[in-house]
């Protein structure tokens, strides 16, 4: 059992779930909120909901097995889910490794990027006034740059900048075949099936379709495969993967949209797709984040690039 007493002014008025996320940094959110549901978190002897606002001298009791806590801490103590590209008092840019989910999903995965980032920040900074939050997400088996906000104001600014296309994201991928047009734009109607977690390219605009636009250029090609740089103009689910597969140039290793025989031939079990470059292309005011204007960041250590196109310099 863990016990805490609220004695500092900075904690007064804080939601109890936020407070506990900073104290129990290595506990995944799923376990924390399950503990709330089981009535195993009490304040002053009474069961509370996650939104309870803390007061001075509140006594918090958390009934989680010490063995469970030790097992989870051991799991996260050797975390290799990400490396840090950039960090300041407001944001982090991390390079998420392939195979890691950004946040908890319907499979109940607890080993997530955001949990590992949270644990890292607590370890380096101590108690956090605000938990870190994702500003963008990428698929489990796609690696690359993810933006983390350290405070609510920064998140609000960055989410808006992404929405109005003032944060530019570029991807590298290796595809089957060589596109006839070496530099072009893919524009399709796309339908997202949230139940099956798959996107379909449609022949025409329909009620539930949305426009998907991706600019691409061929950087290199050999032996029947090509290295492409893709720039997202819109941000639909699995957009690049679905559009390239629709063009007959599926991404090598893509088990959902790709060609099974090709994937088997290359022995790749994760799609060769990486969010490798990001630019803060601010043209409107960014408030406290104005200092990021025109800065760009790039990931150079990409395994599939070294494996298939070692001669390419980014």
Pairwise CA distance, residues 9 & 13, whole Å: 9
- Predicted local distance difference test score (pLDDT) of residue 109: 64
Query: Could you tell me the sign of the dihedral formed by the alpha carbons of 24, 123, 135, 106, in that order?
Result: negative
CA 188 → CA 1, 215, 299, distances in Å? 54, 12, 29
Rounded mean pLDDT of 279-285? 97
**Assigned fold of 167-280+296-308:** Pseudouridine synthase (3.30.2350)
Read off the pTM: 0.73
- 1-78 maps to which CATH number? 3.10.290.10
Output DSSP code: residue 165.
T
pLDDT over 50 (residue 54): yes
pLDDT tens digits along 143-152: 999 999 999 9
* β partners of residue 150: none
pLDDT at 281 exceeding the cut of 90: yes
DSSP-assigned letter for residue 293: T
State how far the Cα of 97 lies from the Cα of 81, in Å rounded to an integer: 6
Q: Which of 76, 155, 146 is nearest to 116 (CA)?
A: 76
Give the pLDDT confidence score for residue 75 in this predicted structure. 46
The domain ranges of the chain are 1-78, 167-280+296-308
Percent helix, strand and coil across the chain, each to the nearest 5:
25, 30, 40
Catalytic, 203? Answer no
Q: How far is CA 15 from CA 50, 117, 131, 227, in A?
A: 7, 20, 11, 48
pLDDT confidence bin for 83, thresholds 50/70/90: confident
Catalytic residue, candidates 11, 95, 139, 254: 139
């Amino acid at each position: 059992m863990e016990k805490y007493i609220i004695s500092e002014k900075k904690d007064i008025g804080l939601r109890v779930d936020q407070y506990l996320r900073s104290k129990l940094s290595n506990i995944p959110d799923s376990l924390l909120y399950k503990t709330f549901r089981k009535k195993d978190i009490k304040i002053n002897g009474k069961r509370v909901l996650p939104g309870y606002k803390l007061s001075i001298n509140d006594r918090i009791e958390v009934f989680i097995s010490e063995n469970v806590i030790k097992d989870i801490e051991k799991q996260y103590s050797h975390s290799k889910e990400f490396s840090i590209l950039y960090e300041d008092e407001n944001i982090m840019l991390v390079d998420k490794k392939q195979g890691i989910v950004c946040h908890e999903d319907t499979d109940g995965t607890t080993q997530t990027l955001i949990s590992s980032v949270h644990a890292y920040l607590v370890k380096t900074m101590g108690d956090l006034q605000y938990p870190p939050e994702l500003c963008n997400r990428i698929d489990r088996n796609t690696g690359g740059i993810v933006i983390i906000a350290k405070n609510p104001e920064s998140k609000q600014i960055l989410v808006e900048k992404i929405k109005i296309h003032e944060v530019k994201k570029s991807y590298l991928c290796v595809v089957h075949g060589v596109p006839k047009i070496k530099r072009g734009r893919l524009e399709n109607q796309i339908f997202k099936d949230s139940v099956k977690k798959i996107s379909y390219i449609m022949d025409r605009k329909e009620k539930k379709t949305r426009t998907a636009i991706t600019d691409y250029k061929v950087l290199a090609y050999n032996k029947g495969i090509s290295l492409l740089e893709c720039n997202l103009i819109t941000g639909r689910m699995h957009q690049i993967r679905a559009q390239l597969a629709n063009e007959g140039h599926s991404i090598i290793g893509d088990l959902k949209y790709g060609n099974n025989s090709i994937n088997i031939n290359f022995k790749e079990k994760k799609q060769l797709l990486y969010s490798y470059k990001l630019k803060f292309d601010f043209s409107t005011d960014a408030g406290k984040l104005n200092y990021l204007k025109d800065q760009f960041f790039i990931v150079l250590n990409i395994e599939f690039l070294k494996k298939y196109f070692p001669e390419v310099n980014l």
